[in-house]
């Protein structure tokens, strides 16, 4: 049997936007520290969240200023985003089976909405837990707990699908069963299409 709710990370699961984010963060370096952020600096930190980007990259701005810059800049590079072809069929199958679906992402709400629209996934979620709606982003459990609250689901009745240690840590701290996409978890998927069927 499927759980009552499935929570999905966005980047690396539903879409792949590492190249988009690299371009955005590269530009943020120019804007907020006077020199571009390099690929070597960026890729080990991908997915850590805006608040962590400021000290890690030595940016001279507030989290709100950086979020606003990210939202504006990201839209300019959406052509570089890959959409997982397994995402929409899985979300539709879960919806049709009465399983709640929630997004759990370190991306801020305005940007998450644009990404979902570009990916053709708008309207397929019952809840959007985004980084600007909680005190702490992943790896803290706040986003997972928000998604559980908004889908009215107990942790024991939910699964989370993610592709990073941040996802695994957040799910674990919240007591949610973790399906690792390409990484180890309570169970492991090599592709989203391998999601267990009823």
The pLDDT tens digits for 41-83 are 998 988 777 889 999 999 999 999 999 999 899 989 988 999 9
Residues 6, 9: Cα–Cα separation, whole Å? 10
Residues 67 and 102 in one domain: no
Task: Please choose, from the candidates 95, 137, 98, the residue with its C-alpha nearest in 3D space to the C-alpha of residue 10.
Answer: 137
pLDDT of residue 198: 66
Output the pTM of the full model.
0.86
pLDDT of residue 75: 87
Q: What is the mean pLDDT of residues 87-96?
A: 97
Q: Decide if pLDDT at 39 tops 90.
A: yes
Bigger pLDDT: 7 vs 114: 7
Q: What is the mean pLDDT of residues 150-168?
A: 97
pLDDT of residue 47: 73
Residues 63, 69: Cα–Cα separation, whole Å? 10
pLDDT of residue 51: 86
Residues 122 and 90 in one domain: yes
Residues 36 and 88 in one domain: no
Task: Please choose, from the candidates 157, 181, 158, the residue with its C-alpha nearest in 3D space to the C-alpha of residue 168.
Answer: 181
pLDDT of residue 11: 92
Domain span including residue 153? 5-16+82-194
Residue that terminates a domain, selected from 80, 96, 118: 80
CATH of the domain at 174: 3.40.50.1000
Q: What is the mean pLDDT of residues 148-165?
A: 97
Task: Please choose, from the candidates 98, 53, 97, 84, the residue with its C-alpha nearest in 3D space to the C-alpha of residue 161.
Answer: 84
Residues 90 and 50 in one domain: no
Residues 12 and 24 in one domain: no
Residues 64 and 159 in one domain: no
Residues 98 and 55 in one domain: no
Number of domains in the chain: 2
Residues 90 and 130 in one domain: yes
Residue that terminates a domain, selected from 40, 65, 80: 80
Residue 165: pLDDT band (50, 70, 90) is very high
Degrees, nearest 5: CA angle 153-109-141: 45
Token pair for residue 180? 């690792």
Residues 34 and 65 in one domain: yes
Residue that terminates a domain, selected from 65, 80, 95: 80
């Amino acid at each position: 049997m499927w759980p009552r709710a499935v929570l999905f990370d966005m980047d690396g699961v539903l879409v792949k936007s590492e190249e988009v984010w690299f371009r955005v963060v590269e530009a943020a370096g120019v804007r907020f520290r006077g020199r571009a952020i390099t690929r070597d600096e960026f890729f080990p930190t991908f997915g850590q969240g805006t608040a962590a980007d400021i000290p890690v990259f030595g940016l001279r701005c507030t989290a709100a200023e950086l979020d606003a810059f990210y939202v504006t800049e990201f839209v300019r590079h959406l052509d570089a985003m890959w959409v997982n072809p397994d995402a929409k069929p899985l979300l539709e199958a879960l919806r049709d089976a009465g399983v709640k679906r929630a997004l759990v992402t370190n991306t801020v709400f305005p940007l998450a909405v644009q990404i979902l629209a570009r990916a053709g996934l708008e309207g397929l979620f019952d809840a959007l837990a985004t980084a600007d709606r909680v005190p702490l982003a992943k790896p803290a459990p706040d986003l997972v707990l928000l998604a559980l609250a908004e889908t009215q689901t107990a942790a024991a009745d939910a699964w989370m699908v993610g592709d990073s240690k941040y996802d695994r840590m957040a799910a674990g701290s919240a007591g949610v069963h973790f399906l690792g996409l390409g990484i180890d978890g309570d169970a492991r998927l090599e592709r989203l299409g391998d999601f267990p069927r009823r």
